[in-house]
Amino acid sequence: MVILLLTAIDQQAEVRHFSCQLSDMNTGFDLLTTIALMGHTLIEARLLEEGKWTQLPPRAFDQDPVSPIINELEKEWHQLLTKPNE
């Protein structure tokens, strides 16, 4: 489980603070992308996972979903780890 805290400016130029508990980090990334796609401006985003805070760069969450890229990197990483030494 992770906790996502974010601050955004909505379409009416109001500053909004939001927090939620999510199943994993990728779900948080998708949520941030969705919020940006709705026309809100992300100001700050942080994730709490296993007792550690991670500050996220708001500009990274624009029009393109991040989780497919992360999933592909994770897949490649697992392939490299299971590859026999040559």
57 near 21, Cβ under 8 Å? no
Q: What residue numbers bound the domain in which 6 lies?
A: 2-82
Q: What is the pLDDT of residue 61?
A: 78
Could you list the mean pLDDT of each consecutive 10-residue stretch along the chain, which spans 86 residues? Answer: 94 95 88 89 93 89 66 77 74
Distance from C-alpha of 86 to C-alpha of 74, rounded to nearest angstrom: 22
Give me the number of domains the chain comprises.
Answer: 1
Q: What is the pLDDT of residue 63?
A: 62
Q: What is the pLDDT of residue 64?
A: 63
- Bridge partners of 28, per DSSP, are none
Q: First and final CA of the chain: distance in angstroms?
A: 38
Entry pTM = 0.70
71 near 26, Cβ under 8 Å? yes
